[in-house]
Amino acid sequence: MKTNLLATVSCLVLLAVTGFVTSQDFFQQRKSPLEQERVKISARANIRSNWHDSGVNINGLPHDPDFRAQLGISDQQYQQIQATSHDFTDPAKNPELKKVMEEIDAMRFTDNSVFESADEETKRKYFDLLEKEHEMSNLGRSITKAIEDSLTPEQNKKAKEVLLAGMLKMSSTSSNMFEALDLTETQKQQMVEIKQQLDSEFAERLENLTNVKVKMSNHVWDELEKQLAKQSDGRYSFSTDDIQAISDRLTKEYPEYRKADEDIAIYGKQFSEQFKTKMFDVLTDEQWIRLQKLIDNPPEYAKTFLNQLKEMKKVWALGPGSWKPGDPVPEEYRQQRNRDSFPRPVN
């Protein structure tokens, strides 16, 4: 699996884009506890995003004229989505993100010596702010928010119904698509608790994968330092393409790195399966029937999305009996749920 410019080293890539760094100021600094923790936070945020909402929203669909026509998305709405899709990751246009970034800057952890002199409470606050910044800067979520803000309530409901109709063909689950079933506040809270419970169950796997990604990022910088020729002014010249080439090569050469990428996808699928099943259990009978109808007889406005899912042709191998994309709701679950003779209470 090809890595995408080592998402785990995104904070360091920003330095690489300038084209020049000094060996002492850069290659040594990236080994410091401060930089290692920064990379770890970035890796953890990217993996968690992959397991939660990444890849299952309708971000790409507004570009399809057929989909826009099916949902009645006007040209003006489409232009609004395009214009505002990056606003949520721009601190100049997102006051909440700007505030977090200003708090980070105010702590003045410009180098490891300043960081080491800080007390543990200050360090923890700094890392919490970094995690919050990563979460708020997630481009996929920002585009989803732009779409939600640009569509009418009815269009938003249809868009989430589209995801529900295709949920069994997707490799991960959008946490808000169940809102199309008119969840109560209690059910929404249950959804939050389910995600928190699964996060706890997957915590060890997340930590192991994060450690591998940090190890790989260090390996990339070691390889880069070896390859670069020092210039007469004491600087090294390199580009993001150089970093990409090294990361691609290492991924091919080292099974540990390939397996980490594969495991991120596999565990993300397992997370999604467990989340779906647990969410089924909190649905009322009326919501359950509506969900089955959406899956078994999808509306016309979901056809474009479902056709795109068919073209993906992703193959998952999670062991015998696993619920694979494209499978129906597991028949055992469906039969047991439909056998219940008593109505489920409205939460």
Predicted confidence (pLDDT) per residue in 73-112, tens digit: 999 998 888 888 777 788 888 899 899 999 988 887 766 7
Structure confidence at residue 337 as a pLDDT band (50, 70, 90): low
The string of pLDDT tens digits covering residues 29-66 is: 777 888 888 889 989 988 888 787 654 456 667 778 88
Q: Across the strands, what pairs with 296?
A: none
Amino acid at the residue 52? H
Instruction: State yes or no: pLDDT of 321 exceeds 50.
Output: no
Please check whether residue 199 is in contact with residue 275, taking contact to mean a CB–CB distance below 8 angstroms. Answer: no
Instruction: State yes or no: pLDDT of 14 exceeds 50.
Output: no
**Which one, of 192, 183, 173, 162, lies nearest residue 283 by Cα?**
183
Instruction: State yes or no: pLDDT of 290 exceeds 90.
Output: yes
Please check whether residue 80 is in contact with residue 145, taking contact to mean a CB–CB distance below 8 angstroms. Answer: no
How many angstroms separate the CA atoms of 128 and 144, rounded? 24
The whole-number average pLDDT for the span 270-275 is 89
How many angstroms separate the CA atoms of 242 and 155, rounded? 44
pLDDT value of residue 55: 46
CA dihedral (206, 209, 215, 216) positive or negative:
negative
Compare 244 and 321 and report the one with higher pLDDT: 244
Residue listed under structure tokens 């397991």: 51
Domain ranges of the chain: 7-31+163-339
Q: Above pLDDT 70, what percent of the chain?
A: 76
Q: Above pLDDT 90, what percent of the chain?
A: 29
The whole-number average pLDDT for the span 222-241 is 70
How many angstroms separate the CA atoms of 240 and 271, rounded? 32
CA dihedral (320, 323, 325, 326) positive or negative:
positive
Please check whether residue 269 is in contact with residue 317, taking contact to mean a CB–CB distance below 8 angstroms. Answer: no
Beta carbons within 10 angstroms of residue 282's beta carbon = 20
Beta carbons within 10 angstroms of residue 293's beta carbon = 13
Please check whether residue 283 is in contact with residue 180, taking contact to mean a CB–CB distance below 8 angstroms. Answer: no
Cβ burial, residue 308 (10 Å; 0-12/13-18/19+)? middle
Helical residues (DSSP H) of the chain, grouped into ranges? 10-16, 33-51, 65-71, 75-84, 95-106, 112-116, 120-136, 139-150, 153-165, 185-201, 203-227, 240-253, 255-282, 285-296, 303-312, 331-339
Instruction: State yes or no: pLDDT of 167 exceeds 90.
Output: no
Q: Across the strands, what pairs with 237?
A: 20
User: Over the range 106-119, which residues count as b (16 or more CB within 10 Å of their CB) and which as e?
Assistant: eeebeebeebeebe
For 16, the token pair is: 């690489």
DSSP secondary structure code for residue 237 in this structure: E
Instruction: State yes or no: pLDDT of 166 exceeds 60.
Output: yes
Please check whether residue 55 is in contact with residue 171, taking contact to mean a CB–CB distance below 8 angstroms. Answer: yes
Residue listed under structure tokens 């850069």: 26
Compare 273 and 115 and report the one with higher pLDDT: 273
Residue listed under structure tokens 């060890």: 204
Average pLDDT, the chain: 78
Structure confidence at residue 284 as a pLDDT band (50, 70, 90): very high
**Cα separations in angstroms, 225 against 20, 158, 164, 278, 307:** 12, 52, 48, 48, 46
Enter the pTM of the model.
0.73
3 state SS of 164: helix
Cβ burial, residue 225 (10 Å; 0-12/13-18/19+)? middle
